[in-house]
Structure 1
Amino acid sequence: MVVAAAKRIRFIEDETLSLVEWADSIQRDSTTTYFEKAQRIAHRLGTNYRSDRLTEIGFWTPELAGDIIQSEHKLELEIFTPIDPIDFRAKEQQARFRRSRIPVIKQGEYVWAVVYGLQAGTRDQAGCFYWLRYEDADGKVQIIRDPLAYSLPYGVFAPAELYNMRRLQRKRADLAYFRRTGSSTNLSDTTIPRIPAPTSILQIHVNTASAAGTLEGLTEIYQRISDKLADGQTLAPEEAVYAGYDAIQLLPVEPTIEYRREDTTGEHLFFSIHSAPPKAAKVLPSSTEEDVPVPPVPHALTSDFYHKPTVTLRKPNTQNWGYDVPILGSSATNPAVLGSLRPDEVIDFVATLHNFSQGPILLIYDLVYGHADNQALDLLNHQFLKGPNMYGQDLNHQSPQVRAILLEMQRRKINTGADGIRIDGGQDFRFFNPLTDRVEQDDTYLLAMSDLAQNIQGYRRLMFTIFEDGRPWPQEGWEEISRYRELIEKKPESFQWGPLIFAHNTPTLEGYWDKKWRRACEVIFQGNRWITGCGNHDTVRRGNQINLDKPINWNLGSSLVEVLNTAYNNPATQIWVQGFCPGLPMDFLNATVGASWGFFRNTDDRYGVKVASEEIGFLDWQVSPEIYEKETSFVQIKQLGFTSLEKLRDFGKALQTAMVETDYDLEQVAKFCSHCLGEDHGFCEVPALEDLNGPNLPRFLATLDVAKLKKFAMAFMEDSHNLCKVSNFFDQIDPTTAAFHLALRHYRRSHSWLQDNILGCDRFNRISNDQQTLFYGLRCHPETRKQSIAMATHMGGLPCTVNLDEWLQLDMTQWKVVLATPGIPEAALKDLRAFELRDGQGVLLEPI
C-alpha cells in the first residue's frame, strides 16, 4: 500500500468562513422549509475531497450546543495520517500515524472546516483517518464520528477514512451503462428515468456466498460465469446456481455492530491507538513542518498537535446477517465484506454485473433505516434516536436534520452504482402524530426513499424499489390480515414482498400449501407487484425454528436436512412461481445450493447466549452427522468437548429450555446447569440436562459458568456461520436439478408477460383433499389471447393422477412438455391425457 509524501496539514480560514457563510445563508432563507434547509446542508456534511485538493469537513453536532463545552479550543478535528505502509489485507499489523489536531468553526448545530494537506484514499493509497474530538465539562475526551463516511476500513468505532470518491467514480468500468440508462442532470426531476423491474432476483448474503466471503469473491465468480457464457461453455452446477437471474439483491452491506464486552468501556477493536504519550507534544509554528514550505496562516487559527502514535490495525472479521446496524456509516460498506477494505471493490462488483456478457444484471441494496441497534447509543448523537423498540432503537425520522442525513446516507450508498433498493421493515417506520393523537405510518419518508435520485458522473436515475411491509405486523393476527398492498397502492411502480415470501414460511410441514390456498390465489389474481417465491433469508431461518413434534412432510426427504432443503428449493413450487405466477420471483442462494443458513453473529457479548439458544434448531434442521463429522466443521465447538452432534444437540436444547425458564438470566442458567450436571443431580429443574451427565461429560459442562456460556455461544455462532458458506456444499448440488432450475429461470425471462395478473381467459385451481394438494392452471398470451401455458404441480401428499384434459377442457394431444421437474420418468409423460405426479413434481406445457 502506497504512502503519499507528507504534506503540511493546515486549516484554511477563508475557505472555512465561506463555507460557514453558505450554511448561514441557507438557514436564513425564509422561502424554504426546515427539512429543505437540512437537505441542502446534509449534502455537504461528512468529507468532500475537492478537485483543488482541499477537503471540506462538516459535522452535525447538536450535543455541542449551548454550554456543554466550555472553551472553543477544546473542540478539534483529529486527523491520523499514515506514516508506514498499510496492508489492508493483513489480519493484524502495527503502523505509525502522524496525529494532527485542527481547529474548526462552530455554526449553530454544525461544525465546519476546510483543510489543506489531507491525503485521500484510493485503491493503492491509504487516506487520512479523521474524527471530531472535544473535552466535556468534566475534562473527559469525547469522540464524534462521521455518520456519512464513505470508507470505514476498521469499523464504526474507528476513525473514518477520507476517500477520493471523485476519482473512483471517474474511473469506473461501467460508465457506458449509466449513459445508456440515465438522463442528463439538466433535466427536471419528472424526466429522470426509473430503472425497470427485472424478471427474477437472487438474494445473496455476501459473507457466505463465496469461499472468500467478500464482494471480490463474488466478482470473481460472476466474471468467470460471464466469460464462460460468452465463449459458449456449459456452466458447472456450482456456477449454474448463480446464473439466469437479471438482478441480485444483497443482504445489507452497511457496517454492522461490533463486538463489545460488557465488562469494559469498549476499546477500539480494529483500530487500537497505543496509549503511551509522546515525549514532547508541541504546537508547531504555522510556517514549519518537516521542511515542507507552506504559506503563513494566522497562529490563532492553527492548533496542529503533532506526535506519532502507533496503532494496531486488525482486519474486521464481524459475522452478521446484516440487520444489526448502528446506522452510523450506512453510506459506507461493511469492511467485513471487503477483502481489500477499499470502496473500489464495491465498484468492481457493480461494474462486473453491469457489463455481464449476457446483458446487465441489476444490483439491489437492502437498506435498513427503520431501526437501529442499541450500539447506536454509543455512536450517534441522541437526536437520531427516539427511544427503544423490539430491535433496539427507533430512529427519529421526524427530525428534519435526521431525516435529511438519513436520505443523504442513502444517496451516497446508491451512488456506488445500485439499480434498486429493498427497504427493510417498512411497517417499522412509525411516529406519534400529536395532531391526530395516534401512531401513524411514516409513508411520506418511505416514498421519499423511493424517489431519491442517483447521480453518477452526471447521469441521474431513480431506483427500482421493493418495500418489505407486512403491516399491521407485529400486531396479533397480522399474518391473516396483512394486505401487503399499502405502499404499492401509493407508489404503483414499486413492488412489495408478498404474503408467501414475507416471513413465516413453513413449507416443511404437511398441508402447508393447502393452508396457504387463499394467499396463493391472491398471488395469482393481484400479485403482479409482489415479490414471489418461498425461500429467503428470513423464511429459511424460520424453518430452523419448527418444533420437531409438528407434522413434518416426509415426502420431501428422509432426514430433516433433506426435508428443509427440498422445501425451500422445491421444484414443484418453482414451476408454479417461475413458470406460471404473476409478480417478481426471488430465490435465496443458500436455499438453491442446499447450504445451511441461520442468523449467526459474533458481534455480541450481552445477548450472544440468547441468540445462540434461539438458533439451536439449526442443529436439527441443517446439520447432519455426516456434516458435523467433517474435519472443517464446528472446529471450536469440538475443542470445547462436543465431539458428537448428539451431545451438542442435547446441550443446546437444554440451554434453550433453561434460557426460557429463567427469562434469559445467565447467572440462573449457569446455576441450573451446574446443579443438573453436578454430583447431586437427582432433582433437576431443567430435565433435559440430566441426559448429559456421565463419565464422558466434557469438563466444559462440569465447570459451567456465565463466562463459559458466552464462550459456547460465540463458538457455536462462529462455527455455524462458517458452515453456512455455500462453497461447503458445492459437491452435493445435483447437476440435473441445477440445470432444471436454470432452464426455468431462462423460461421466465423469455416470457416476461407472466409478471402480469391473470386474464379473464386464464384459469387457476387446485385439487385438494385429505391425501394430496395439486395446483393447476392455464394462461393465455396477453396480446394474442391464445392459450400459451398450462401447468400442473404436486404441492403435497400422496401421488396423484393428473387429468388436465378434463380439468382444463383441453385436447392434450395438442400439447407438449417444455419443462418437467427431475425424477419424472420420460415414459410417464408420453400420454398427457393422464399422468402421475408425486409430491414436489410438476410440469409446464405449451401447445404444439
Structure 2
Amino acid sequence: MATDTDLRLLEEPTDELLAWHREVAAEHDDPFEAAKVLTDRLGAHLGDDGRVEVGFWTPELVDAGVPAEDVFLEVLTPPTDVDPADTDAREVTFRRERVSLRREGEYHWGVVDGMRAGTRAELGSLYHLVYRADGAWQSIPDPLAYSVPFGPFAPAELYDLERLDETRADRDYFEALGTDDERVSTTEHDGLPRVDPAVSMLEIHPGTATEAGSLAGLADVYEEIARKQRADEPLSPWERNFAGYDAVQVMPVEPLTENSEEHEFWSVLDEGDDELTAAVSRPDAMNWGYDIVVSAFSAPNPAILESGRPDELVDFIAACHDLPRPIRVVFDVALGHADDRGAELLNDRYILGPGMYGKHLDYTEPTARAAFLEMQERKMDFGADGIRVDGAQDFTSYDEETGEMYHDDDFLEEMDLVTQEVAGTEYRPWMVYEDGRPWPREDWELASSYRALIEQHPHSFQWSPITFAHNTPALLTFWATKWWRVREVGEFGGNWLTGVANHDTVRRGTQIDPTVSFNQSPVNPYLGEDYPETLDEAYDNPAAAMLFHCFLPGVPMDFVHANMRAPWGFVRDTDPEWNVKVVSEESNFLYWQVREEDFADPAHFRRVKDLGFDSVDELHTFMDALSAAVDATDYDLSVMAAMLSAMDQPLGDDLSAADLDAYASAWMRDVYDFANLSHWHDQSEERTAARLETREFRHDRSWLRDDLREGDYFTYRHPTDGTVLYYGIRTSPTGDEQLLFAANMEGVPVEVSPESLAADAADDANAPEIPTDGWDPVLTAPSVDEETTVELANADAVVWRREP
C-alpha cells in the first residue's frame, strides 16, 4: 500500500478559508458575483506546501438537513504502481481515509494534509465527498475535477496542475502572446491580448483520427508532420489531409456519459474502514463527443488519453504549437446540455428539467451559472487558443413572467468574458459560436441570420449557414437552391466559419434515403459512379474547396474524415435506452459509406458478421426492417423483437429486446472501428497535393478572410443552362493583385474564360467591369488544363490572377 502521510484536517488554514468565504459573501450583494469568486476555489487544489484545499457546493445536503458533522472528504490512495493507462479491468486496493469538512452556508470546505497529487508518472489520491444518511454512506463527486482517470462516475483524482503548467513544452508560445506575435490582435481595453482568428481550420474527432484513438496518437501525427516540414521532406498523401491549416478544432474532449448496463470502469468489490477494493479500468467508451455529463467537464476525457494522464492533452496542444507555422487549438465546448445521467452526478440546482438532448441546465441559478463558467475556464486553461460554443441557441432559460423560454445571451456574454492563463500569460481566446436560432422553430432555416452573436460581440465568429448541421451537397440543386446563403457569405461572411464538411453535415448526408423519388432533390449524378463516391465528392471536391479557400470571406473549415474520404456517422455506445433507435436511423449509412469490398474486408464489421450477416444487402434488409419496426411500435423493443423474429434474418426466430440491444452495440462498435482513419491512409497523390495547394493559397492571401469590398463581385450565371456556375472577382486591399474565380458547382461541363465571364457580368448593371487582359491561371482543379480558356466539369474550378 501507499506510504503517504495520514490524512488530517488543518484547523487554522480551514478557519482562514471559511473566513474568506464569509468575507466574499459580505462584499457582494449579487449572489452571482459572489458565486463567481467562491467557485474559483471549489474542487481540490494543491498548494505549494503540499496542502490541499477542497471545496464542495452542497445545497442538497443543507436542504435535506444532513448534519455538518456527518459530511466528510473521503480519500482513496492507490498503490504507487497502478497504471491509469490500462483499459483492462483489474482489482486495486486503496487506502481509505476520511476527514471532516466544515460547513459555511451551502458549501463545505477544508484544508487537508496527506493527499498524494497525481503527475505524469504516478496516479494520485482519488477523492469525493461522502456523508451518512439513513444509516448508509452516500457520495458526491467533484464537478470541477481536473482528472477522472476512471471516468466521471468514479472518484476524481487530485492532480498537480502547477507542475503540469510549468513543464509544458510550449511555454514560449504562450509567453509570446501580447507581444508582436502574429497570433494575437492588439490588446483590448483590459490590456489582455486576444488570439486572432485562424486563416483556415480542420475539425478532428480524436477517437477515430488515428489507430490509437487518442490525443497521443494525434500528437504523433503532428510531430511527424513538423519533423518532415523542418527537414523539407515530402508529406505522405494522407498526412497532407492534416496539413495546411493554422487551427484545428477538436470535437469535445470532455468526460462522457456511460452505459449503465455495459460500462463499469469503477466498481467497488469490497470495503472496510481502512481499505477499499475496486475493479478499475481506463474507460474505453466510444462516442462522437457530445454526450457529456457536465460533471468533471474541466477534466480531459480519459477514453482518449492513451496514458490516462491529463498531460496528454497538453502534449497534443504543444505538438500543434510547435509546427513551423503554429496551429491554434480550438476546444469544442458543449455546455449547453447534459446527458440524462448527468442528473446522477449534479445536484438538482444545476438542472432546470428535461431537454432536447437529455437535461436542460439551469443558467439562472447563481452558483450553477458561476460553476459552468469555472468549468469552461479550467478546461481552456489546458492551453486552448479558441473556444467553439456548441449549440449556442440551446442556452435558454425560463422566464417566469411570460412562461416562455428565452435565449440567455447574458450567459453567452459571460462565456465571452472568461479569460485564460497559461504559462503565466493571461489572454482572451478566439470566440466561435454555433448559433442557428431560432432553431428548432419550424422556419429556422429561413429565419436564422447566423449573426446574432457577432452583432453582440463583433470580435466573435459564428458557424455560417453553409456550415450548419443540415446541409446536403450530395443532392442535385444544392448549390443552386443554397445560392442565397452562399451569397451572404460573400456579402458579410468575414466573421463566419465556412465550408460544407463537418461532423454534423457528413452525418446528415449519410442519413438521406437516396432511393426517395419525391419530396427531395435527386442524388447528384455528376459526382460519382456510386453512392460512396458521390458522398466523398460532395464533401471533398475542388469547386467547394476553392470556393471557400480561394475566394469567399470567413474562415474555411474542413473535416478530416471528409479530407480522407473516410466513413463517418453517429457513433456511441453510451445510451442503453435509445441505442437501438439511433442505429435504426442509420440504415442509409450502408448506401452511402459501405461498398461490397469494404464489407468483405476481414478487418471490417467483424461483430455483425459474427452475428450471421454475410453481405451488405442482407444487413440493409434487416436495418430497413428494424427502422420500420421502430415506427410501427413506437419503439417498443419487445414488440419489435417479436416482429423481426418473423422475418428471415440471421439473428434467429426468437429474438428478445436484449438481442436487439446486442445487435445495436455490435453495429455501433463496428462503425466506430470502420471510421478509424488508419484504414484510409491510401490516398490520391494528385488530389491531396491539390487540396494542400488550395489551402496554402489561402494562407498566402489572408486578406481573403475579409468581406468583399467595393469593386469586388460575386454571382452565378443565369440562366444556368444545366450548370450552376459561380464566379467572381476580388482585388487585394493594396491593389497589387486581382483574382478571378470560376467554379462549376454542379451540372454539365461548361467552357469559361475571363472574356466569357466579363461578357456575362456586363448584363448586370450592378457588376464592375471585369478586365479581359493579363490573366494567368494560378490555381486549377487537378483535371483542368492550366489555360486561359478552360472547360470545367462538375466540381471543377479555376482561379486566374493578374497584377492591375
TM-score (norm 1): 0.90
1:312-351 aligned within 5 A: 312-351=279-318
**C-alpha displacement of 1:88:** 2.1
Name the amino acid aligned to 1:800: V
Residue number in structure 1 paired with 2:99: 102
Name the amino acid aligned to 2:282: K
RMSD: 1.7
- Identify the range of structure 1 (31-40 vs 534-543) with the bigger mean alpha-carbon deviation: 31-40
The answer to whether structure 1 residue 729 and structure 2 residue 680 are counterparts is: yes
Q: Pick the aligned partner of 2:390 from 384, 401, 424.
A: 424
- Secondary structure of 1:132's aligned partner: strand
Go from structure 1 to structure 2 and tell me whether the alpha carbon gap of 1:667 and 1:836 turns closer, same or farther (over 3 Å shift): same
**C-alpha displacement of 1:606:** 1.1
Are the counterparts in 1 of residues 332 and 388 from structure 2 also a CA contact under 8 Å? yes
Residue number in structure 2 paired with 1:162: 158
Q: Pick the aligned partner of 1:481 from 430, 435, 447.
A: 447
Name the amino acid aligned to 1:18: E
**C-alpha displacement of 1:571:** 1.0
**C-alpha displacement of 1:132:** 0.8
Q: Deviations over 1:280-326 (max 9, x none)?
A: x4xxxxxxxxxxxxxxxxxxxxxxxx2x2322111210111111111
Name the amino acid aligned to 2:652: L
Residue number in structure 2 paired with 1:201: 201
Residue number in structure 1 paired with 2:606: 635
**C-alpha displacement of 1:437:** 5.4
The answer to whether structure 1 residue 519 and structure 2 residue 474 are counterparts is: no
Are the counterparts in 2 of residues 84 and 95 from structure 1 also a CA contact under 8 Å? no
Go from structure 1 to structure 2 and tell me whether the alpha carbon gap of 1:439 and 1:310 turns closer, same or farther (over 3 Å shift): closer
**C-alpha displacement of 1:770:** 5.3
Q: Pick the aligned partner of 1:536 from 482, 498, 502.
A: 502
Name the amino acid aligned to 2:663: F
The answer to whether structure 1 residue 258 and structure 2 residue 270 are counterparts is: no
Residue number in structure 1 paired with 2:264: 269
1:448-487 aligned within 5 A: 448-487=414-453
Residue identity (%): 40
Query: Which whole-Å CA distance do the structure 2 matches of 1:501 and 1:454 have between them?
Result: 28
**C-alpha displacement of 1:766:** 1.1
Query: Which whole-Å CA distance do the structure 2 matches of 1:434 and 1:312 have between them?
Result: 47
**C-alpha displacement of 1:461:** 0.4
Q: Pick the aligned partner of 1:673 from 644, 655, 659.
A: 644
Query: Which whole-Å CA distance do the structure 2 matches of 1:756 and 1:644 have between them?
Result: 50
Are the counterparts in 2 of residues 4 and 119 from structure 1 also a CA contact under 8 Å? no
Residue number in structure 2 paired with 1:715: 666
1:382-461 aligned within 5 A: 382-434=348-400, 438-461=404-427
**C-alpha displacement of 1:438:** 4.1
Query: Which whole-Å CA distance do the structure 1 matches of 2:97 and 2:561 have between them?
Result: 47
Query: Which whole-Å CA distance do the structure 2 matches of 1:5 and 1:805 have between them?
Result: 82
Q: Deviations over 1:445-468 (max 9, x none)?
A: 112212211012331100101000
Query: Which whole-Å CA distance do the structure 2 matches of 1:359 and 1:796 have between them?
Result: 35
Go from structure 1 to structure 2 and tell me whether the alpha carbon gap of 1:493 and 1:729 turns closer, same or farther (over 3 Å shift): same
Q: Deviations over 1:232-291 (max 9, x none)?
A: 111110111100100000000111101112xxxx9x71122213x44xx4xxxxxxxxxx
- Secondary structure of 2:526's aligned partner: helix
Go from structure 1 to structure 2 and tell me whether the alpha carbon gap of 1:626 and 1:72 turns closer, same or farther (over 3 Å shift): same
Residue number in structure 2 paired with 1:284: none
Name the amino acid aligned to 1:260: S
Are the counterparts in 1 of residues 758 and 772 from structure 2 also a CA contact under 8 Å? no
Residue number in structure 1 paired with 2:210: 210
- Secondary structure of 2:733's aligned partner: coil
- Secondary structure of 1:773's aligned partner: strand
**C-alpha displacement of 1:802:** 1.4
Query: Which whole-Å CA distance do the structure 2 matches of 1:341 and 1:822 have between them?
Result: 44
- Secondary structure of 2:714's aligned partner: strand
Query: Which whole-Å CA distance do the structure 2 matches of 1:625 and 1:67 have between them?
Result: 60
Name the amino acid aligned to 1:6: D
Name the amino acid aligned to 1:110: Y
Residue number in structure 1 paired with 2:37: 40
Residue number in structure 2 paired with 1:561: 532
Q: Pick the aligned partner of 2:10 from 9, 12, 15.
A: 12
Query: Which whole-Å CA distance do the structure 1 matches of 2:446 and 2:568 have between them?
Result: 27
Are the counterparts in 2 of residues 560 and 622 from structure 1 also a CA contact under 8 Å? yes
**C-alpha displacement of 1:228:** 0.5
Are the counterparts in 2 of residues 105 and 111 from structure 1 also a CA contact under 8 Å? yes
Are the counterparts in 1 of residues 723 and 748 from structure 2 also a CA contact under 8 Å? yes
Query: Which whole-Å CA distance do the structure 2 matches of 1:756 and 1:39 have between them?
Result: 37
Query: Which whole-Å CA distance do the structure 2 matches of 1:812 and 1:599 have between them?
Result: 49
Residue number in structure 2 paired with 1:835: 790
Query: Which whole-Å CA distance do the structure 2 matches of 1:89 and 1:437 have between them?
Result: 49
Name the amino acid aligned to 1:312: A
Are the counterparts in 2 of residues 778 and 808 from structure 1 also a CA contact under 8 Å? no
**C-alpha displacement of 1:141:** 2.7
Are the counterparts in 2 of residues 194 and 463 from structure 1 also a CA contact under 8 Å? yes
Q: Deviations over 1:352-408 (max 9, x none)?
A: 11121x221100000011111111111110110001111111111111100111111
- Secondary structure of 2:86's aligned partner: coil
Query: Which whole-Å CA distance do the structure 1 matches of 2:426 and 2:697 have between them?
Result: 32
Are the counterparts in 1 of residues 2 and 95 from structure 2 also a CA contact under 8 Å? no
Go from structure 1 to structure 2 and tell me whether the alpha carbon gap of 1:359 and 1:140 turns closer, same or farther (over 3 Å shift): same
Are the counterparts in 2 of residues 573 and 840 from structure 1 also a CA contact under 8 Å? yes
Query: Which whole-Å CA distance do the structure 2 matches of 1:450 and 1:102 have between them?
Result: 38
**C-alpha displacement of 1:32:** 4.3
Name the amino acid aligned to 1:273: V
Q: Pick the aligned partner of 1:355 from 307, 322, 326.
A: 322
- Secondary structure of 2:717's aligned partner: strand
**C-alpha displacement of 1:527:** 0.7
Uncovered stretches (5+) of structure 1, i.e. residues with no partner: 282-305, 678-692
Query: Which whole-Å CA distance do the structure 2 matches of 1:523 and 1:462 have between them?
Result: 26
Residue number in structure 1 paired with 2:126: 129
**C-alpha displacement of 1:189:** 6.5
**C-alpha displacement of 1:182:** 4.2
The answer to whether structure 1 residue 749 and structure 2 residue 699 are counterparts is: yes
Query: Which whole-Å CA distance do the structure 1 matches of 2:557 and 2:723 have between them?
Result: 26
Q: Pick the aligned partner of 1:85 from 55, 58, 81.
A: 81
Are the counterparts in 2 of residues 778 and 787 from structure 1 also a CA contact under 8 Å? no
TM-score (norm 2): 0.95
Residue number in structure 2 paired with 1:295: none
- Secondary structure of 1:790's aligned partner: strand
Go from structure 1 to structure 2 and tell me whether the alpha carbon gap of 1:239 and 1:157 turns closer, same or farther (over 3 Å shift): same
Query: Which whole-Å CA distance do the structure 1 matches of 2:421 and 2:335 have between them?
Result: 21
Q: Deviations over 1:184-223 (max 9, x none)?
A: 9xx9961111101110000000001111110000000100
- Secondary structure of 2:681's aligned partner: helix
Query: Which whole-Å CA distance do the structure 1 matches of 2:204 and 2:30 have between them?
Result: 40
- Secondary structure of 1:133's aligned partner: strand
Name the amino acid aligned to 2:777: V
Go from structure 1 to structure 2 and tell me whether the alpha carbon gap of 1:98 and 1:580 turns closer, same or farther (over 3 Å shift): same
Q: Deviations over 1:117-170 (max 9, x none)?
A: 10000000110000111122x334321000000000100110000000011111
Query: Which whole-Å CA distance do the structure 2 matches of 1:83 and 1:761 have between them?
Result: 70
| Aligned length in residues | 780
Uncovered stretches (5+) of structure 2, i.e. residues with no partner: 181-186, 517-521, 760-769
